[in-house]
Amino acid sequence: MAALLGRRLRGSALQPTPVGLHFLPRLSHAHAHAQMDDSPASQIQQKKDELYDLLDKQKRLTCQNGRLMHNLSVQINPRPDDLRWHGFRIRKRLDYVVDAVMHSTIFILLFGAWLSWNEESSAEDGKEEALGVKNTQEQGRR
């Protein structure tokens, strides 16, 4: 069994690989539609693709349609030849990064403010306790 496997591996390593098998075939937009069945999820995906195509045909987009197209760009099947699709995808990824940085910054600022407030309140508590001890000592002397 091992010898047979070794022969196959050696034989395939020595034989040239056919040109068409170097890369896995990419799913094209038409090929993806051909594979879809009549399930509700596939129908929704088909409607998203159709809506993106309809919006893509317009030269000027309103603000709401632009946002819709922006959100649809990450939900539709990949379109490697569409420059507009690439632009929307890059903008959407940039939005994710900016959102994460913004939330992290807010968290760090709030946490830092809480820490400084906590240190100040504990220092004030320490002063009050020290004053309380001094006051009880003074009252004991009287």
Mind listing the pLDDT tens digit of every residue in the chain (142 residues)? 555 545 555 554 445 545 544 444 444 445 555 555 788 999 999 999 999 999 989 888 899 988 898 889 889 988 888 888 899 889 989 999 999 999 999 999 999 998 888 887 777 766 666 555 555 555 656 5
pLDDT, residue 21, reads: 45
Residue 94 contacts by C-beta under 8 Å, 6 or more apart in sequence? none
pLDDT, residue 24, reads: 44
Amino acid at 72: L
The secondary structure of residue 74, as a DSSP letter, is T
Q: How far is residue 46's CA from residue 39's CA, in Å, rounded to a whole number?
A: 11
Q: Where are the domains of the chain?
A: 40-131
Q: How far is residue 83's CA from residue 100's CA, in Å, rounded to a whole number?
A: 26
Helices and strands of the chain, counted as H and E runs = 5, 0
Residue 26 contacts by C-beta under 8 Å, 6 or more apart in sequence? 80
Kindly state the tokens that stand for 118: 């906590």
118-121 own/partner pairs: CB under 8 Å, 24+ apart: none
pLDDT, residue 54, reads: 93
Burial of 63 (0-12, 13-18, 19+ CB in 10 A): exposed
